[in-house]
Amino acid sequence: MIAAGRRGATGQYEDGERLFSLPPTSYKEFFVVEGAGHYDMYYVPEYVDQAIERLTLFYSKHIGE
């Protein structure tokens, strides 16, 4: 789960925490992009790049297991 660190009024961060807690697996991580708002994650390169880097690491580690 990747969440924007700047919490807004819509509860997106909290929704991310809830979604993260649901799957009963150890193959999960909760990553917070500090300073980003929810919509920043769609188009601000500084934040998008962090998310892509973290996803790349996660998939490299877990795909093929």
Q: Domain locations in the chain?
A: 2-62
Q: Which two tokens stand for residue 19?
A: 């979604």
pLDDT at 52 over 70: yes
| Of 61 and 33, the one with more pLDDT | 33
% of the chain residues with pLDDT over 90: 78
Residue 64 has what pLDDT?
A: 67
32 within 8 A of 1, measured Cβ to Cβ: no
Q: What are the CA-CA distances from residue 9 to residues 5, 15, 25 (Å)? A: 13, 12, 30
pLDDT at 34 over 80: yes
| Average of per-residue pLDDT values in the chain | 92
